[in-house]
Structure 1
Amino acid sequence: MTQAKRRRYRLLTPLVYLAALILLLEEWLWDLGTRIGAIIARWPPVREFDARIRALPPYWALGAFALPAVLLFPVKLLALIAIANGHPVTGVLVIVLAKIGGAAAVTRLYSLTLPSLMTLAWFARWHAAFMTFKDKWVGKLKGTLAYQRTSGTAAMLRDRLRRAIKAFRRRGRGGRHSMRPTRILRRFAAMWRARRR
């Protein structure tokens, strides 16, 4: 490996890891959004609303598909203002909730409006081009060592979190080690106060 290639490799490696993290996050949000959308879709009023969205003409469907991004932009902007004004926890929490809510809305609206949107020739052309481009680059990224390491670490962390939640639930079901919600909240408040001093 030449010196120029080595330098380029060192510069690009952190970017590849960042891209792998973003891809894993987006995939997780898409899966979570799909599950939330499926749960919400079971309610009878939502089923009726879904039928109306499916029946929308193409340009109305395009407006409905773009609506979550338009509505969530001011929410994210307010969250950034909150962070800038010394409320980082509130701001980050709002951004995370907006991202999860937005993912649920976008995945649901995508599946509902896609048949109508594909009747627009320009949309079908751009959609096919985007999906080909995305599949090509995602395939390349998934073939990298950075993605494999990152996804392996994420899977290990998910497994540990599941085990910790199971252990916490078992402990909370009874016995002398049970943790009541009020006791947990008191401990958290005491830790927060100690940290702010």
Structure 2
Amino acid sequence: MSLSDPGWSAVDDYIVGKLIGEDTALEAALANNRRAGLPPIDVSLAQGKMLQLLARGVGARRILEIGTLGGYSSIFLARALGEDGVLVTLELEPEYAAVACANIEHAGVGRSVDIRIGPACDTLEAMCSEGEAAFDFVFIDADKDNYPAYLDYAIQLSRQGTMLIFDNVVREGEVINPQSSDPKVSGTRALYDALQDNAKIDATAIQTVGSKKWDGFLLALVQ
């Protein structure tokens, strides 16, 4: 993704300064991610706080995250939980999971977080087969070509009223390009197709601009 505007990041900085403020644990997590060579694809600070507030707003006690990376968004989500809550977060790469574990522990939310390592579809299939308890909130920010499969698993692991959030669903406008050869675009388009006229889900999507450039989130409630 290449399109950007200095004003977008400036407004993000204004929002952070007025409404969120500095957070040493989150800053340390990003610094640790850079040292470990993780790709800089985390949500922004403002987006992370949005996820935290949405999870709090639905009273989430069980949260599922697909795509841990270095645990930056995991920290926000874990902070949304009460003392008895749990965040189950799935990560393919053991090296990323190790970085995430350190970041999560440093942020003081380790007791609430269960990191599961391996291909997400395999982990999710096992969770469904073993009768994992339903989740109240699901955040999906992983390989886009598997977004339709993640939707199916998320529905199976949800209850009526569970909120689902998918990240990166606009892709600088490429989502409306049916000729795109990018699997991230085709996977995202397949997600929209799976949701169109889906009686199990009530959904919308919003475009966003900011320090993460032009993209968007898809928000849905399980019926």
Structure label with greater radius of gyration: 1
TM-score (norm 2): 0.20
TM-score under structure 1 length normalisation: 0.22
Instruction: Identify which of structures 1 and 2 has the higher relative contact order when contacts are C-alpha pairs closer than 8 Å and 6+ apart.
Output: 1
